[in-house]
Amino acid sequence: MSMALVRLLCYLQLLPVAVLSFTCITSYDIRCHHGRVPAFRAANDDESSFSESLSQRIAEVRESESAFVSGLQNRVNKIVEADELDTVMSSKDANNNTVVELPVVTLDALLPNQKLQGTTTDPTFCNFLCKLGLGGSFVMTSINNRQRRIRRFGVVAKIELVDVDANSDSNNNFCPTSVTFCIAGSKRRCEILGPKERMKTRIGRWRRSYDPDGEESRLGWGLESFVDSAKEVPNIDNTEDCSESSDTKWTNSRVRIIDDDEEDANASAEAVAKATQIVPLIEQWIALASNQLTYDNVDVVARTRRKSGQPGLTVDAAALLRRVQREIGQRPPPELPTALALWGSALINPLPALGVATELRGAVLEAEGATNKLAILERGLIKSINNLNGSRPLNM
């Protein structure tokens, strides 16, 4: 064994004692990286103590390496699963539909490319995010407050950040007490499938009844009623026998992926003309909403005001809208009216909220066709512009 290799092994503290325990050798003059001269005595007690310490150190290193490799493999597996799901969602069946099974959570009317960031201490949601892991996907939908039922339409959301690694060990009941997350709306809108009327499906929703103490709303899983469909839909029954299922255990629902490109490819001349008319309104809205002087007018209604009836906001409106525009991308052209309607709605209802426009996102997701979506956006833009210029404050 060369002296260079001996020095390297000595530095790493991985040189077995057996190699050094030569008969009749009392010490070695080997220079370590810190310049000291370690003495290796032939005494059996010293050798035994050193051997035990070294063996323990080797075991610790191996255990650490094993945990690292296992965690890395879990991340790789999640990325592979996400890629496989993307492939499935990009393909169509014999009926020209794309149907997948994903868990559904009622949380927010998230739109494509919007990002929802936050921290949760809800134990079920913590466990849900932890188990899905980085790159995991689920359907995010919202409540139709007028009907007090769940919307059939939502978006496929992807976990872009979660500060707890997914645990593949089904026997491990570890659940973090807090999880910081970033959930992004993918470019894929979707429809939760089921009967046209009186549809019920087992999904996740925050309810006080899921809190053992009944003190606060917690995420739980159970049957929820959905808004009736105004059109014929594939009669796929999502209802499951969940009488013995725990309200902390989620299940998948069948959803149909909506092809926005196909919808825009068949856009009518009326929809394109309406989109062209809306573009100047969007530009006017951005100019007003980004100007900090707009909020010196105390008649302008904004939920982010420092104090009601006083000028100024708790956020930098210009910086917020610049960040939002980076996230949702460039404004689509009028020739893509559906994409423009979704983009405009994500702009005037940003995350985090600016609070200067009525909530449009859920209605836009539910609206049938580009023309109806654009009509909702146009009304929302006009109301918000009138609020921002002080001519007609919002009634929020």
Counts for the chain of helices (H) and strands (E), in that order:
10, 10
Q: Minimal CA–CA distance to 300: which of 367, 242, 234, 387?
A: 387
Antiparallel, parallel or unpaired: β 99-106 and 137-141: parallel
CA–CA separation, 127 and 122 (whole Å): 9
Q: Which residues pair with 201 in a beta bridge?
A: 224
pLDDT computed for residue 73 by the predictor = 63
Let me know: does 342 contact 263? Beta carbons within 8 Å: no
CA–CA separation, 384 and 394 (whole Å): 7
pLDDT computed for residue 290 by the predictor = 97
- Across the chain, mean pLDDT equals 82
The pTM assigned to this predicted structure is 0.77
Higher pLDDT, 310 or 9: 310
CA–CA separation, 173 and 175 (whole Å): 6
CA–CA separation, 341 and 370 (whole Å): 7
- Residues 15-35: tens digit of each pLDDT: 333 333 333 333 334 343 444
- The conformation of residue 222, written as its DSSP 8-state character, comes to E
List CB contacts of 314: < 8 A, sequence separation 6 or more: 304, 305, 306
From first CA to last CA, the distance across the chain in angstroms is: 81
CA dihedral (237, 113, 158, 178) positive or negative:
negative
276-281 average pLDDT score: 98
Instruction: Give the C-alpha distances (Å, rounded to integers) separating 75 from 78, 131, 132.
Output: 5, 12, 11
Q: Minimal CA–CA distance to 353: which of 104, 36, 114?
A: 114
- Residues 57-93: tens digit of each pLDDT: 777 777 766 666 665 666 666 666 666 666 767 677 7
**Cis peptide bond upstream of 195, omega within 30:** no
Let me know: does 295 contact 317? Beta carbons within 8 Å: yes
List CB contacts of 12: < 8 A, sequence separation 6 or more: none
DSSP string, 254-286: EEEEE-HHHHHHT--HHHHHHHHHHHHHHHHHH
Query: 60 is written with which tokens?
Result: 């610790």
Beta carbons within 10 angstroms of residue 18's beta carbon:
9
CA–CA separation, 222 and 245 (whole Å): 9
pLDDT computed for residue 29 by the predictor = 40
- The conformation of residue 229, written as its DSSP 8-state character, comes to P
340-357 average pLDDT score: 97
Task: Tell me the pLDDT band of 322, cut-offs 50, 70 and 90.
Answer: very high
Task: Tell me the pLDDT band of 255, cut-offs 50, 70 and 90.
Answer: very high
pLDDT computed for residue 25 by the predictor = 34
